[in-house]
Structure 1
Amino acid sequence: MGIKMVHHVCIQTDKYKESLDFYTRILGFEIVSETENFHNREYNTWLKSGNFMIELQTPKSDDKFNKWSSLNEGPVHIGFLVENVEQEYKRIKILGYNNFKIKNGKVVYKVEGEYLFKIKAPEGTEIEIRDTDI
């Protein structure tokens, strides 16, 4: 049978309200469901954009998360495709979000001839925004 598609990514956060605001207001995800007191967690929330979902979770009671690092093994960032990188960068700036990764003094930069930028979510997840498909 095999995999049909990527269904979701689960992101854990101890900054729930800030992360929820980031994924909904800044990136435009819609809340599908928000469950309080979910298996010893304050919240477990499903967010959706197109066919892609994020499961946003708070830590279990009395647990503390390790901080995210690009030096960890496993997933390093989540990439999203937009119509126009420059317009998306301006849109996010207008919304007042400023936690962008700077490379060689620039926020929007070229990699292999393609423009992109990276933004850091409140819980530390690195988000790549690009307008060219591979």
Structure 2
Amino acid sequence: MSIKNVHHVCIQTECYKESLEFYTKILGFEIVKETKNFHNREYNTWIKLGDFMIELQTNKLGDKLNNWNSLNAGIVHMCFMSCDVKEEYLRIKGMGYNNFKNKNGEDVYKVEDGYLFKVKAPEGTEIEIRDLQI
């Protein structure tokens, strides 16, 4: 097989500035390349965390995007590993970001032998942060 690894996922957003700030300031991605007026889009931007990249782009001019829904087929969330989930949760919350997915009254909860939490990006992408390798 010639496939080597995951290169990127593409996320469309109608709230570009807020999404870019979330991924760079909250999650620590760095901007690799930001292109204005890209194929009928206001922005197409490549951001990177380690070897993983996101292509963050605005909707095509005149198009209205559908809201994210956990009942959509396909990718439901992205997951990032953390050495200390509770510390990472407190770091994000301490930055004033509060759009967490609550489960049974808890933002951080135990799953199998580890912990995780889910935070929603401004455009609606669900991000899971966990500490247990599968």
* TM-based fold match above 0.5: yes
Contact 2:113 2:132 in 1 (8 A): no
- In the alignment, does 2:56 pair up with 1:50? no
Cα offset for 1:113? 3.0
Match in the other structure for 1:118:
118
- In the alignment, does 2:128 pair up with 1:132? no
In percent, how many aligned pairs have the same letter?
Answer: 72
Moved over 3 A (4+): none
AA aligned to 1:69 is N
What CA deviation, in whole Å up to 9, does each residue of 1:58-98 have, x standing for no partner? 01110110111000000000000011101100110111100
Match in the other structure for 1:70:
70
Match in the other structure for 2:16:
16
SS of equivalent residue, structure 2 residue 101: coil
SS of equivalent residue, structure 2 residue 70: coil
The two structures have a TM-score, normalised by structure 1, of 0.98
SS of equivalent residue, structure 2 residue 53: strand
Q: CA RMSD in A?
A: 0.7
For residues 2 and 118 of structure 1, the distance between their equivalents in structure 2, rounded to whole angstroms, comes to 33
Cα offset for 1:14? 0.2
Gapped runs of 5+ residues in structure 1?
none
Gapped runs of 5+ residues in structure 2?
none
